[in-house]
Structure 1
Amino acid sequence: MTDGDPVVGEDEVAAFGVLHGRLADAVEAAVRGKRDVVELVLVSLFAGGHVLLEDVPGTGKTTLARAVASALGGVSRRVQFTPDLLPSDVTGTSVYDPRTGEVRFRPGPVFANVVLADEINRAAAKTQSALLEVMEERTVTVDGVAHAVPAPFLVVATQNPIDLDGTYRLPEAQLDRFMLRTAIGYPSLEHELDVLRPGSGAGRVAAVPTVCDPQLVFEYGRRLATVHVAEPILEYVAALGTASREDGRLRLGASTRGLRSLVRCAQVWAAAQGRHFAVPGDVQALVEPVLAHRLVPTREAQLSGTTTAEVLADVVARVAVPKPAAR
């Protein structure tokens, strides 16, 4: 987006709402009863961010990522993170071609529209850090040459918060690269019965229809960056960030990157709701998934069992909400 780009119009917002609904319906054909989680992943896709899915095994994390790739119609790759995985196994490396006598770049699995980083916390810190550049810059630099990844580019990383054997903690710098974090959770009884029925299409990624193409997603993402965000909304987001930094239960409050992500996600969320402007409710709906994983509680807060989500809920409750402008 440039300063000369016109603000997105109501017709474009309406068309995006239709596309967003079709994508969500397609993904939900494989991941039943998790519409809220599917919509959050799509928000990150159109906002140009990445998603961290943190949940116990068997809840559908991998299925969700693969279903999004199938509905998108782009190239998808899966990387199973293990302790012996090397950075070059993720980003690619230079290889010698004996036929030509030249050294050429062999792209790694990150050169795709959707990259599933499965159990990302099982890789060593050096391999995890190999993702930092590509997640932020959309390029991989090898031997001083930058190679661009396809657009749109979405990393869906999964990690199991229960099993700590053979895992490495994700550093704050990498957590901050994920636009949002969410959990799928167990399905309701109704949807779990649907999954258990023989012949059910639940969990079958092959049955997910392709409803658009990557170029269309990229164009919508660029246009949705012009959804109107009024100055009072920006001041509200900044106030939430300041309040988190001043909260005594946190060692590390919301980063500026996190607040920018919150604004960007609010733009996409507003368009998905059929509006070409953001309101405070859009910000409030996304505060926890966008900011909670970026915060670091104090040791005292950890010992008392206080979560960053609870701290954020208190922050939202005490920061004044901007009122609609008088007409």
Structure 2
Amino acid sequence: MGNREDIQALGKRIGQSIIGQEAMIERLLLGLLGNGHLLVEGLPGLAKTRAIKSLAKNLEASLSRIQFTPDLLPSDITGSEVYFSEGGKGEFKFQQGPVFANLILADEINRAPAKVQSALLEAMEERQVTVGGQSHPLPALFLVMATQNPIEQEGTYPLPEAQLDRFLMHVRVDYPDANSEVAIMELVRSEEREPHAKGAEAQKLAAEVVLAARREISEIAVSRPVEDYIVALVMATRYPDKIDTELAKWIQVGASPRGVIGLDKVSRAHAWLKGRDFVTPDDVQAIVHDVFRHRLVLSYEAHAGGVTADQAVDRIVEKVATA
């Protein structure tokens, strides 16, 4: 099989244990292929943790879970220098923290204070950790999936917009449908009967396949009209008054240049995953909500009227002409 077939097979294997969340699985693969990080928001029990655990189970990759709490310290994530004494001599050695794994589950990232959030987000952006004047590179295969709970906001520290911008996508996870709920019950029963049966047979995908897939995605063609369409969507978030008076009342701050880069990266990954060597406007529209959702700052008027970021993006897609 080629790299694309291997990645598609990986998605199917994850889907065997994550039922009714096909969109989240696809976004997880797109984040992996796009070499970016995901902010996943959903109510408890919607398989967010299970999804990245299943990815790690089927991929040659290490997984670290960091449970964010108010008493967490930056060194609890990045690691720190520890004093070792041997043979009458002592020296400081760097002891790696959990951020040095390939896959990071940052569970309830908004429950930790700003210093801890910044430590993780700096590692995400720089792909390295600096302690004691020494820089320590993170693995080439490195993905952070941070989760947020949309309820129970008391005692949380919301991520500032500038830090949210560092996530490639903001993924929303909803309840599965009734048929999926039945399948979930049956899956859990089967796992209780044979807890290790499926795990023993799982064949892990080599990390090099993902890296090779990324190289193929970098060669995906994006025509000038599609490039113009991507830029036009971003410009519509910055100057909404030029395309729609209602939209101008909703958006206070638009997407940064990372929005352009994100749309380009993820639309190329989406086209590749669908078996094409070129990007179409449909690829852009398929992922624009996830790329823009956390990059728009809505006005007070929008919040007062119950307007969501997704509704603003819907209006932008409706008003901006396709390539």
Q: TM-score, normalised by structure 2?
A: 0.91
Q: Which protein, 1 or 2, shows the higher relative CO under an 8 Å CA cutoff with sep ≥ 6?
A: 1
**2:181 corresponding residue in structure 1:** 192
Which deviates more from structure 2 when the two are superposed, residues 42-51 or residues 207-216?
A: 207-216
* Structure 2 residue 46 is the aligned partner of structure 1 residue 83: no
Structure 1 Cα separation of the partners of residues 286 and 196 of structure 2: 29
Match of 2:33 among 34, 46, 49: 46
Q: How does 1:1-327 map to 2 (within 5 A)?
A: 15-99=2-86, 100-197=89-186, 199-201=189-191, 207=198, 209-247=202-240, 248=248, 249-322=250-323
Shift of 1:33: 2.1
User: Does the C-alpha gap of structure 1 residues 129 and 206 become closer, same or farther in structure 2, counting only changes over 3 Å?
Assistant: farther
| Aligned partners of 1:26 and 1:211 also within 8 Å | no
Partner of 1:8: none
Per the TM alignment, residue 42 of structure 1 is displaced from its structure 2 partner at its CA by 0.3
Q: Point out the more displaced range, 215-224 or 172-181.
A: 215-224
- Kindly indicate whether the alpha-carbon contact (under 8 Å) linking 1:30 and 1:207 is maintained by their aligned counterparts in 2: no
After TM superposition, the structure 1 stretch with the greater mean CA deviation from structure 2, 187-196 or 75-84, is 187-196
State the distance in 1 between where 2:197 and 2:236 align: 46
Q: Which amino acid aligns with 2:79?
A: G
Once the 2 structures are TM-superposed, how far is the Cα of residue 16 of structure 1 from its aligned partner? 3.3
1:71-113 Cα deviation digits (max 9, x unpaired)? 2221111000000000000011111111251111111101011
Deviation at 1:210, TM superposition (A): 3.8
CA–CA distance in structure 1, aligned partners of residues 54 and 235 of structure 2: 38
Structure 1: segments with no counterpart, 5+ residues: 1-13, 323-327
Amino acid at match of 1:299: Y
* Equivalent residue letter for 1:220: A
Please report the RMSD computed on the Cα atoms of aligned residues, expressed in angstroms: 1.7
The percent of aligned pairs where both chains have the same amino acid is 42
Distance 1:210 1:52 in 2: 28
Instruction: Kindly provide the amino acid, as one letter, of the partner of residue 243 in structure 1.
Output: A
Shift of 1:183: 2.3
SS across alignment from 1:146: strand
Q: Give the aligned residue type for 2:207.
A: P
Q: Distance in 2 between matches of 1:261 and 1:76?
A: 25
**Aligned-partner SS, 1:199:** helix
Distance in 2, matches of 1:205 and 1:17, equals 28
Q: Deviations over 1:300-326 (max 9, x none)?
A: 11111111111111111111111xxxx
Report the alpha carbon displacement of residue 205 of structure 1 after superposing the two structures with TM: 9.7
The 1:94–1:172 alpha-carbon spacing in structure 2 relative to 1, beyond 3 Å, is: same
Code of the residue aligned with 2:235 in structure 1: it is T
* TM-aligned CA distance change 1:191 to 1:205, over 3 Å: farther
Whole-angstrom distance in 1 between the partners of 2:164 and 2:281? 25
Provide the aligned length of Structure 1 versus Structure 2: 308
**In 2, distance between residues paired with 1:205 and 1:306?**
46
* Inter-CA distance 210–302: structure 2 relative to 1 (3 Å threshold): farther
> CA–CA distance in 2 between the matches of 1:24 and 1:193?
21
Shift of 1:243: 0.6
